[in-house]
Structure formats: structure tokens, C-alpha cells
């Protein structure tokens, strides 16, 4: 196992009733890098993502994380090993406050989450850390607001704060910029760069400017298979990639 690789797949394949959505993907994500997964619509990015986070079971192939096989692991268990995902549709707990959203993630390590006979007061010492996380993503003024009442961009920031509460070794972000306005994109980009400083990030993203800006390495998927891989400069100059995007109506 190569030391610098944190997440690796070999021949990862997913079939849906004969339709091959992901076809023999070999992917290697280097530790402490920001790796982007791009490709035209229907290329299998989201399926690939769901396979990596165990929300789908692969038909064939293996996934290793930190040198250990996680192909058969449950989605909750890989999260506990430090591989935490986000969702395309911003995933917050809408009828809980911003602070509670972060607290529910923080309390996972507390070991009291099954204790229904204890008062929440036994977790009060997590509040300080929760407030720091809320502040780190620029949501201090919303700390007591219901998460569902936040504007969309702020919900993204909250989701990242909640993910950071788990102190993940690796974050998988599913289209972090989907549905965001220009101003929010700038803010969330900066946030991702900041939190990626000592972590690994793998993201699926459509916004090429963001991809160019953030990624150290890019894998291009087309029709479920890897088309090419490289830096933004290498990938964007590749005639195959231009062909793939032109062919599906992008420029």
C-alpha cells in the first residue's frame, strides 16, 4: 500500500439492472490533497460517491481506506473511522438550532448517546467547542436560530461545521456549491480551503472555476469510467475531456 494514498478503489463497479453506472473505476486519493471528481451529467460521479460512502453497495471491486478494506463496511462505521460525507441537498437538522446541529455531531464521541435516562445537562461541556465551530464557519450571529430558517448558503456552512465537529480525517463533499450564489461560492470555497489544510477532501463539483481554484488533482469520469486524471492544467488541455464536455453541450 502506497503511504501517501488515503483512499483507493480497484475496479469499482455498480450495475443497476444491467445498466452499468460505474464501470471499473480505479481511483487513488492522496493524503492532504483536495481531489475533485468531475464529468458531464450522467458520468456516474454521484453513484461513485455513494459507493465510496457506503450508501450504495458495489457490484464488484474493492475500496481501501488507510490501507484497510472498507468494501463491506456500513455507512455509519466508516464515518466513525474518520471518513465523513456531505450531501448534495444541504443536510442539516431543520428543527434544531444551529448550536444543536453541531452538538449532535460532537456528542457522538461522548459515549452517552444511548443513555436515555440522563439529562442533556451532562453534555453541557461540549457547548464551548460547538460555539467555536459555529464561529469558525462565520455563523456566530445565528447560533440560536433554527437551522431550517437559515438561508441556503449559511446552511452549507453549518453542514461543514457539523462535519468538522467529527474531526474527520477525510471529507467527501457532494457538490458543495450546488444551488449557491456567487457570494456564497466565494465564502464556501475559502472555507473548504481552510478546513482542508490538514485533511483530505474529495469532492464532486460542477463549477469549473471552483474546481480549478481548489483542486490539487482531478479525475474526469465519462459513462462510468475514468477518462483521465491530472492537474487542472493537464485535464483542461486534454482533447478527450474537451470532446466529452462539448459532446454533452458544455463548453
Can you give the binding site for other proteins, defined by CB under 8 A? 53, 55, 74-77, 79-80, 84-87, 90-100, 103-105, 107-108, 110, 112-120, 122-124, 127, 131, 141-146, 148-154, 162, 166, 179, 181
Q: Which is nearer to other proteins, 134 or 226 (CB)?
A: 134
Do 229 and 212 form a contact (C-beta atoms < 8 A)? no
Smallest gap from Cβ 61 to other proteins, in A, equals 22
Q: Which is nearer to other proteins, 69 or 149 (CB)?
A: 149
Residue 225's beta-bridge partner residues?
Answer: 222
CA angle centred on 215, ends 60 and 11, rounded to 5°? 10
| Angstrom distance (rounded) from CA 112 to CA 121 | 12
Q: Which is nearer to other proteins, 151 or 247 (CB)?
A: 151
Do 7 and 27 form a contact (C-beta atoms < 8 A)? yes
Q: Is 41 exposed, middle or buried (0-12, 13-18, 19+ CB in 10 A)?
A: exposed
Smallest gap from Cβ 75 to other proteins, in A, equals 5
Q: Which is nearer to other proteins, 90 or 222 (CB)?
A: 90
| Angstrom distance (rounded) from CA 66 to CA 225 | 24
First to last CA, the chain: 38
For the residues of 200-216, what is the DSSP string, one character each?
EEEEE---HHHHHHH-S
Smallest gap from Cβ 172 to other proteins, in A, equals 9
Q: Which is nearer to other proteins, 166 or 208 (CB)?
A: 166
Q: Which is nearer to other proteins, 122 or 190 (CB)?
A: 122
Smallest gap from Cβ 16 to other proteins, in A, equals 19
Smallest gap from Cβ 151 to other proteins, in A, equals 4
Radius of gyration of the chain (CA): 19
Smallest gap from Cβ 92 to other proteins, in A, equals 7
| Angstrom distance (rounded) from CA 40 to CA 245 | 6
Amino acid at each position: 500500500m502506497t503511504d501517501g494514498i488515503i483512499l483507493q478503489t480497484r475496479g469499482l463497479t455498480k450495475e443497476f439492472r444491467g445498466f452499468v453506472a460505474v464501470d471499473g473505476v480505479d481511483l487513488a486519493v492522496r493524503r492532504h490533497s483536495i481531489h475533485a471528481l468531475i464529468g458531464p451529467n450522467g458520468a456516474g460521479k454521484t453513484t461513485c460517491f455513494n459507493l465510496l460512502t457506503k450508501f450504495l453497495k458495489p457490484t464488484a471491486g474493492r475500496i481501501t481506506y488507510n490501507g484497510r478494506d472498507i468494501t463491506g463496511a456500513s455507512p455509519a462505521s466508516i464515518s466513525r473511522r474518520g471518513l465523513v460525507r456531505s450531501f448534495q441537498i444541504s443536510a442539516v437538522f431543520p428543527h434544531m438550532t444551529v448550536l444543536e446541529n453541531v452538538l449532535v455531531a460532537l456528542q457522538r464521541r461522548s459515549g452517552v448517546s444511548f443513555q436515555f435516562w440522563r439529562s442533556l445537562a451532562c453534555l453541557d461541556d461540549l457547548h464551548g467547542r460547538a460555539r467555536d465551530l459555529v464561529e469558525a464557519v462565520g455563523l456566530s450571529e445565528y447560533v440560536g436560530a433554527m437551522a431550517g430558517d437559515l438561508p441556503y448558503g449559511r446552511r452549507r456552512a453549518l453542514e461543514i461545521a457539523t462535519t468538522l465537529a467529527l474531526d474527520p480525517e477525510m471529507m467527501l463533499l457532494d457538490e458543495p456549491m450546488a444551488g449557491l450564489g456567487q457570494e456564497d461560492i466565494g465564502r464556501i470555497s475559502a472555507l473548504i480551503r481552510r478546513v482542508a489544510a490538514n485533511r483530505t477532501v474529495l469532492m464532486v463539483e460542477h463549477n469549473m472555476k471552483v474546481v480549478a481554484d481548489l483542486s490539487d488533482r482531478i479525475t474526469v469520469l465519462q459513462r462510468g469510467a475514468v477518462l483521465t486524471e491530472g492537474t487542472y492544467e493537464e485535464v483542461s488541455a486534454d482533447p478527450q475531456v474537451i470532446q466529452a464536455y462539448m459532446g454533452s453541450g458544455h463548453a
